[in-house]
Amino acid sequence: MNPLLVLAEHAATWHDAPLTPEIEHHARRALVDWFANVLSGASRAPATLMAAALEDETRGGGGAVCYVTGKRVPVRHAALINGTASHTVEFDDIYRYAVYHPGCPTIAAALAMAQSKRVGMASLLRAIAGGYEVGCRIGVAVQPSHYRFWHTTGTIGNFGAAAAVSILLGSDAERIAHAIATAATMASGLQQAFRGEGMSKPLHPGHAAEAGAMAAMAAAHGMTGALDVLHGPAGFAAATSEDTGKWEKSLANIGKPFAITDMTFKNHGCCGHIFAALDAVRDLQRENGFKAAEVTGVAVGGYRATKDVCDRPNARTEQDCRFSTQFTVATMLLHGGVRLSAFEPERLADPAIRALMPKVTVAIDPDCEAAFPNARSAKVTITLADGRVLARHQPTRKGDPDARLSDDDLSDKFMELSAPAVGEAAAKAVLTQLWQGADLPGAVPLLSAPVPRAAE
């Protein structure tokens, strides 16, 4: 079995597959969540810096919309900048079995091509669903060992982007296979980029979106790739995981369920490896009514990534604090949530948060580690000044497929993230279009005009 050919054949079916109510609904959910992230991230570094750096390259115009500048730009430029913006505020979707944020690269690339080709919503939603299926399946095949060194959204995102753009281009299975093959050799994204300080993490999905779009466009014009590049002895899986890929597992019963129907949508504005602990802390505090000042210790037990990626007792910068169990747990105890406001300058320097952070410890729990990546769990023990010891095993996270955010939850999240960026009226108009926009082929393309920006 050649997994690349299986995936390409499957992707080709999305050209004219029935857009069932279930698939349409879940693809729209993903689109709503992506726009919440991109509109919120469009006014922030590094997307703003990338747009400025590449400004000279956009003077010829194009058919896609860059939401950072509001300009019409070429497909690859929009994919790069919008993909970067959509990963900036750390509220983007997750396919937990692949440890992967598929929306950032897949939707950034697909939307750019859909706008450029002026296709309708139905075509875009099919391309998104097909791109999610390809990227997520490849991600499952290389986990969990891939996640030791690689940032999956950077390394896997180009596959989802390549498949989605290929579907919009009308490529047949052969050309989709070559697009995926070419995308494979451009995979990149190192974990060290976000284990320390720096701005390059959001660039990973931006690069993946651009690389995938380029691979798809090249393949559509006849460029070929190595069709054994996923499973070959010197191929993608061999180079980035402990073997040549768990392909039988990842391709078993493909589409049952479709990845797009099995997504996690974030309920906290930070690294997902902390979510289960945050949910446990929130619920323990609500149920027992204690105040942050009464806490003398918080012990968090999680899987390896919770420790390796998110044990940051001395986090100071916005980037660092989004990945700090200590900072986010202290924020939850003091403010009852970890939203965008948690990472404003005054919060980052808040003495009350700084006083709580040393009381939070992180360790690897064997049960949580054994359940990863299929379950993202945590065990939390909170010790109070009056001697009480409160404990909770949190087996999943709010927002995971088994504890979903409702459509109303997603709409509220969209308005929370988008309204400050584009104004409440514009945000409501975009939200209505995303949920209810016409889905017939050939309809007016999604957001063919740039979204208006709020006054400075």
Q: What is the pLDDT of residue 197?
A: 78
What tens digit of pLDDT does each residue of 240-260 get? 999 899 999 999 988 889 999
Mean pLDDT of 177-191: 97
Question: Averaging pLDDT over each range in 167-176, 187-196, 311-320, 436-445, which range is the top one?
Answer: 167-176
What tens digit of pLDDT does each residue of 398-431 get? 999 999 999 999 999 999 999 988 888 888 988 9
Residue 305's identity, in one-letter code, is A
Closest CA to 175 of 219, 134, 211: 219
Q: Where are the alpha helices (DSSP H) in 241-396?
A: 247-251, 275-288, 304-310, 318-322, 325-335, 345-348, 351-356, 366-371
Q: What is the pLDDT of residue 443?
A: 28
Q: What is the pLDDT of residue 455?
A: 36
**What are the tokens at 232?**
């070959």
CATH topology of domain 272-397: 60s Ribosomal Protein L30; Chain: A; (3.30.1330)
**Rounded to whole angstroms, how far apart are CA atoms 16 and 263?**
23
What tens digit of pLDDT does each residue of 192-214 get? 998 877 899 999 999 999 999 99
Q: What is the pLDDT of residue 441?
A: 31
Kindly tell me if the per-residue pLDDT of 437 is higher than 90. Answer: no
Q: Report the percentage of the chain scoring pLDDT > 70.
A: 96
**Rounded to whole angstroms, how far apart are CA atoms 125 and 168?**
10
Q: Would you say the pTM of this structure is higher than 0.85?
A: yes
Domain 3-267+405-436, classified CATH 3.40.50.11540, yes or no: no
**What are the tokens at 366?**
């064997």
Angle at 131 between CA 175 and CA 67, to 5 degrees: 110
Domain boundary assignment for the chain: 3-267+405-436, 272-397
For the ranges 75-79, 180-184, 370-374, 379-383, the lowest mean pLDDT is seen at 370-374
Q: Contact at 8 Å (CB) between 172 and 119?
A: no
Q: What is the pLDDT of residue 438?
A: 64
Equal CATH topology for 3-267+405-436 and 272-397 = no
Q: Looking at the chain, how many residues does it have?
A: 456
